[in-house]
Amino acid sequence: MSLHIVSKSPFSSTALADCLTSFIEGDALVLIEDGVYALSGALKSQPVVGPVYCLAADAQARGLTIPAAVEAIDDDRWASLCTEHNPIVSWFR
Amino acid sequence: MSLHIVSKSPFSSTALADCLTSFIEGDALVLIEDGVYALSGALKSQPVVGPVYCLAADAQARGLTIPAAVEAIDDDRWASLCTEHNPIVSWFR
Amino acid sequence: MGKRSLALCRQAPYGNALAREGLEAVLAASALEQAPDLLFSGDGVFQLLPGQEPDGIGQKNLQRNLQALPIFDIERAYVCEHSLSQRGLSLDDLATGGPALHPVSDIGKLISSYDTVLSF
Amino acid sequence: MGKRSLALCRQAPYGNALAREGLEAVLAASALEQAPDLLFSGDGVFQLLPGQEPDGIGQKNLQRNLQALPIFDIERAYVCEHSLSQRGLSLDDLATGGPALHPVSDIGKLISSYDTVLSF
Amino acid sequence: MYPATSDTRNQAAMNFTLAVYAAPHASQSAATALRFAQALLRQGHQLYRVFFYCDGVHNGSSLATPPQDETDLLPAWQSLQAEHGLDLVVCIAAAQRRGVLSEAEAKRLERPAANLAPGFELAGLGQLADAVAHSDRLVTFGS
Amino acid sequence: MYPATSDTRNQAAMNFTLAVYAAPHASQSAATALRFAQALLRQGHQLYRVFFYCDGVHNGSSLATPPQDETDLLPAWQSLQAEHGLDLVVCIAAAQRRGVLSEAEAKRLERPAANLAPGFELAGLGQLADAVAHSDRLVTFGS
Mean pLDDT score of chain D = 94
Element (H, E) at E139: strand E137-141
Residue of A88, A54, A84, A91 whose CA lies nearest to A69: A54
**What's the mean pLDDT in B11-24?**
96
User: CA gyration radius for chain A?
Assistant: 12
Dihedral sign from CA coordinates of D113, B14, B71, E40: positive
Residues of C whose CB is below 8 A from A21: 82, 107-108
Partner C contacted by B12 (CB < 8 A): yes
By three-state DSSP, how is residue F19 classified? Answer: strand
Whether F126 and C25 lie within 8 Å, measured CB to CB: no
Is the CB of residue F143 less than 8 Å from the CB of residue F68?
no
Whether E132 and D29 lie within 8 Å, measured CB to CB: yes
Q: E143 to chain D: nearest residue by CA? A: D18
The pTM assigned to this predicted structure is: 0.95
Is the CB of residue D55 less than 8 Å from the CB of residue D48?
no
Nearest-angstrom CA–CA distance, E141 and D119: 9
Q: Is E119 left (phi over 0), alpha (psi -120 to 50) or beta?
A: left
φ/ψ of residue F82, rounded to 5: -65, -40
Whether F96 and E61 lie within 8 Å, measured CB to CB: no
In this prediction, residue E9 carries a pLDDT of: 44
Three state DSSP letters for F42-99: HCCCEEEEEEECHHHHHHHECCCCCCCCCCCHHHHHHHHHHHHCCCEEEEHHHHHHHC
Q: B16 to chain A: nearest residue by CA? A: A12
In this prediction, residue E2 carries a pLDDT of: 42
Partner D contacted by F31 (CB < 8 A): yes
Which positions 5-34 of A are in contact with B (Cβ < 8 Å)?
11-14
Whether F140 and A82 lie within 8 Å, measured CB to CB: no
Q: Which amino acid is at E14?
A: M
Nearest-angstrom CA–CA distance, A33 and D11: 13
Look at residue C14 and tell me whether its pLDDT is greater than 90. Answer: yes
Whether A11 and D13 lie within 8 Å, measured CB to CB: no
Closest approach of chain B CAs to the CA of A7, in angstroms? 14
The domain that contains D10 carries what CATH number? Answer: 3.40.1260.10
Element (H, E) at A91: strand A88-91
In this prediction, residue E4 carries a pLDDT of: 45
Closest approach of chain A CAs to the CA of B66, in angstroms? 25
The residues of E assigned a catalytic role are 91
Partner B contacted by D79 (CB < 8 A): no
Element (H, E) at A20: helix A15-21
- Per the structure, the complete domain to which residue D12 belongs is given by 5-119
Q: Which chains touch C (3 or more CB pairs under 8 A)?
A: A, B, E, F
Task: Enumerate helices (H) and strands (E) in chain D, giving the number of each.
Answer: 4, 5
Which residue has better confidence, B49 or A19?
A: A19
Residue of E13, E18, E11 whose CA lies nearest to E80: E18
**CATH class of this structure's domain E14-63+70-141:** alpha beta
Sheet with strand A3-6: strands edge to edge? A71-73, A52-55, A28-31, A3-6, A88-91
Three state DSSP letters for chain C: CCCCEEEEECCCCCCECHHHHHHHHHHHHHHCCCCCEEEECHHHHHHHCCCCCHHHHCCCCCHHHHHHHHHHCCCEEEEEHHHHHHCCCCHHHCCCCCCEEEEECCHHHHHCCCCEEEEC
Partner F contacted by A14 (CB < 8 A): no
Whether C107 and A23 lie within 8 Å, measured CB to CB: no
Residues of E whose CB is below 8 A from D31: 126
φ/ψ of residue E72, rounded to 5: -105, 110
Residue of A13, A72, A63 whose CA lies nearest to A42: A13
**CA F72 to each of CA A55, E96, F62, F76, F88: distance values in angstroms, whole numbers, following the listed order:** 22, 12, 11, 7, 17
Is the CB of residue C32 less than 8 Å from the CB of residue F129?
yes
pLDDT tier for residue E8 given thresholds of 50, 70 and 90: very low
pLDDT tier for residue B41 given thresholds of 50, 70 and 90: low
Q: Which amino acid is at C15?
A: G
pLDDT tier for residue C76 given thresholds of 50, 70 and 90: confident
F65-123 tens-digit pLDDT: 999 888 999 999 999 999 999 999 999 999 999 999 999 999 999 999 999 999 999 99
Q: Please, do chains E and A touch (3+ CB pairs < 8 Å)?
A: no
Taking the mean position of all CA atoms in its chain, how far away is CA F142? 13
Q: Where along chain E do its domains lie?
A: 14-63+70-141
Q: How many domains does chain D have?
A: 1
Nearest to E43 among B33, B34, B76 (CB): B76
A38-89 tens-digit pLDDT: 998 655 666 778 899 999 999 999 999 999 999 999 999 999 999 999 999 9
Look at residue E54 and tell me whether its pLDDT is greater than 90. Answer: yes
pLDDT tier for residue B50 given thresholds of 50, 70 and 90: confident
Selected residue of B90, B91, B93 to mutate for chain E interface (largest E Cβ count, 10 A): B90
Nearest-angstrom CA–CA distance, F64 and E106: 10
F22-73 tens-digit pLDDT: 999 999 999 999 999 999 999 999 999 999 999 999 999 999 999 988 899 9
Whether A87 and F39 lie within 8 Å, measured CB to CB: no
Whether A12 and B13 lie within 8 Å, measured CB to CB: yes
